[in-house]
Amino acid sequence: MAIKFQYNKTALHNLNKQLKIRQKALPTLKNKEAALRLEVKKAKDQTDDFNRQLQIKIGEQELSAGLWNEFLPELITIENVSITSKKIAGVSIPVMNEIIFKEQDFSLFSKPDWFPAGISFVKELAGIVTGREFYARKMALLDRARKKTTQKVNLYEKVQIPGYEDAIRKIKRFLEDEENLSKSAQKIVKKRQQKQKATAV
């Protein structure tokens, strides 16, 4: 990134100010990136855990798969998923609190006696699937925030900070050269004036 600047003390002061802001912000950004990376990993682990739980639950029902043809899916539905949010490294993250189910009444005499256990199983399964979806979305959200932070860290660390340092170096060199030329010119003028005085006498 080419930083536009002028070869004067005002520009030097402004560039130093911008450089200090970025140098001060960089450790904070790196900490934020590390915190988000950790949260992404936690969300991924949670998603993987829910996937394992789902496989186990489905495996447990393989032998009784035929019975499920009798089950009435409308007996239980998810009414609401309670979600709040909290901030992690300055990013607002959803937190799943509870899943609220709505159950339909049914006659225990006219339906198979395993229906209550079936409802409990469906609740468990719905909880696992909802949890898996929730953590997969949370992981995507966190990963997007982490990528943005990583881009900013790279921009500061690899582009802007070296760019400002280079511009500051160039201005300092220019001002030093200008000062040296000015001193040399003053010496030449002084010597010339001394020579003129000497010849005038």
Task: Give the contacts of 39 (CB within 8 A, at least 6 positions apart).
Answer: 88, 89, 93, 142
Give the residue extent of every domain in the chain.
10-194
Q: pLDDT tens digits, residue range 105-156?
A: 877 777 778 788 888 888 999 999 999 999 999 999 999 999 999 999 999 9
- Fold classification of 10-194 is Helix Hairpins (1.10.287)
For residue 61 the two structure tokens come to 């029902």
Residue listed under structure tokens 């000062």 = 179
**What single DSSP character describes residue 92?**
E
Q: How does pLDDT run along the chain (201 residues), one tens digit per residue?
A: 578 888 888 999 999 999 999 999 999 999 999 999 999 999 999 999 999 999 998 888 776 766 777 777 788 888 999 999 988 888 888 889 989 998 888 777 777 787 888 888 889 999 999 999 999 999 999 999 999 999 999 999 999 999 999 999 999 999 888 888 888 888 888 888 887 777 766
Q: Which helix (H) or strand (E) holds 87?
A: strand 76-88
Question: Bridge-partner residues for 93, per DSSP?
Answer: 86
Residue listed under structure tokens 């496989």 = 55
Give the closest residue to 106 by CA, choosing from 70, 81, 78, 133: 70
For residues 158-170, one letter each, b for 16 or more C-beta atoms within 10 angstroms of the residue's C-beta and e for the rest, the string is eebbebbeebbee
CA dist 101 and 124 (Å) reads 11
- pTM (predicted TM-score): 0.75
Asked if residue 12 lies in contact with residue 175, where contact means CB atoms within 8 angstroms, the answer is yes
The CA-atom distances, in angstroms, between 168 and each of 4, 20, 54, 67, 88 are 11, 12, 59, 77, 36
Beta-strand pair 76-88/91-103? antiparallel
Amino acid at site 198: A
Asked if residue 15 lies in contact with residue 171, where contact means CB atoms within 8 angstroms, the answer is yes
